């Protein structure tokens, strides 16, 4: 079904079964598969491939060379009923690739709203991305990665499979993210290590100075305390019940995960 006011260049291929919303603009030499749903006000500039069971939210803009909804690159891939869901108002730049999920792990790759994917970044199968995230040029997310709201990943950084990147974390360019990154954390290097808190991001998000100081104190107690990271976090929890960002970090540390925790010390994994 194609909305009557959609603008589609005659060189583009729209396969039977695709759903094209109101005011969609599809430029030259695009290919839209039969199980694709494009929301209203989407723009595909040119040479864009959208295939698989892919749904894209309204007002998303996709630049040339992107391939969205391709099969997962898992050696155990089965395309049956797997899908990719992308939210609203995302910007997907040149050469970006996003894959559908795998049956073995729920079958879905999910991307939230208002995200910016710079050129040649990659979102692998079964990833879960929140809102207002920036993936800079050539960022590589392996399968099953979780990236929470407002995280920023610098150019060329790579995230190991099953790793979590917490809300408003900042990952420096060319970093290797092998272990979970706490909310508001800053990680740099290969192998990546924590280098403090994303204070600039916290300030821009409207977190007041007193709260930032409290989170800094909590961070120091967690990573410089006498016990393991998780034991230190559990020991200080009562002290920070009135500090939501600190509790967010402590909850993240306490949650079950397939990966260890990044820390300021390469030899410490949680």
Please give the positions annotated as active site: 125-126, 143
Contact (CB, 8 A) for 98 and 123: yes
Residues 6+ apart with CB under 8 A from 113: 57, 87, 88, 89, 90, 131, 132
Distance, CA of 176 to CA of 189 (rounded, Å): 6
Q: Assess contact for 248 and 150: CB atoms under 8 A.
A: no
Helix (H) or strand (E) holding 212: helix 209-224
Q: Listing from the earlier edge strand, what are the strands of the sheet with 19-20?
A: 19-20, 37-38, 53-56, 83-86, 108-111, 128-129, 146-147, 164-165
Nearest to 15 by CA among 26, 23, 5: 26
Find, among 144, 68, 130, the residue nearest to 153 by Cα: 130
Closest C-alpha to 111, from 91, 136, 81, 139: 91
The closest alpha carbon to 194, from 215, 171, 161, 173, belongs to 171
Angle (CA) 39 42 48, round 5°:
110
What's the residue count for the chain? 270
């Amino acid at each position: 079904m194609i909305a009557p006011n959609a603008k589609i260049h005659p060189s583009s291929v729209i396969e039977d079964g695709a759903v094209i919303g109101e005011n969609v603009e599809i430029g030259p030499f695009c290919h839209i598969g039969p199980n694709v749903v494009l929301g209203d006000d989407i723009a595909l500039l040119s040479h864009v491939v959208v295939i698989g069971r892919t749904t894209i939210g309204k007002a998303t803009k996709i630049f040339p060379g992107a391939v969205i909804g391709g099969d997962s690159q898992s050696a155990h891939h089965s395309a049956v009923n797997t899908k990719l869901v992308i939210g609203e108002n995302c910007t997907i730049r040149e050469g970006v690739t996003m894959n559908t999920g795998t049956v073995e792990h729920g079958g879905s790759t999910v991307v939230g709203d208002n995200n910016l994917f710079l050129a040649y970044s990659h979102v692998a199968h079964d990833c879960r991305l929140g809102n207002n995230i920036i993936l800079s040029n050539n960022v590589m997310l392996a399968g099953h990665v979780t990236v929470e709201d407002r995280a920023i990943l610098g150019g060329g950084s790579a995230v190991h499979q099953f790793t979590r990147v917490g809300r408003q974390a900042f990952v420096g360019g060319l970093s290797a993210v092998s272990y979970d990154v706490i909310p508001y954390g800053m990680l740099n290097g290969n192998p990546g290590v924590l280098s403090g808190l994303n204070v600039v991001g916290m300030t821009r998000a409207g977190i007041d100075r007193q709260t930032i100081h409290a989170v800094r104190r909590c961070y120091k107690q967690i990573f410089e305390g006498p016990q393991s990271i998780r034991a230190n976090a559990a020991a200080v929890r009562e002290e920070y019940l009135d500090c939501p960002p600190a509790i967010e970090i402590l909850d993240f540390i306490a949650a079950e995960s397939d990966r260890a925790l990044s820390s300021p010390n390469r030899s410490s994994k949680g």
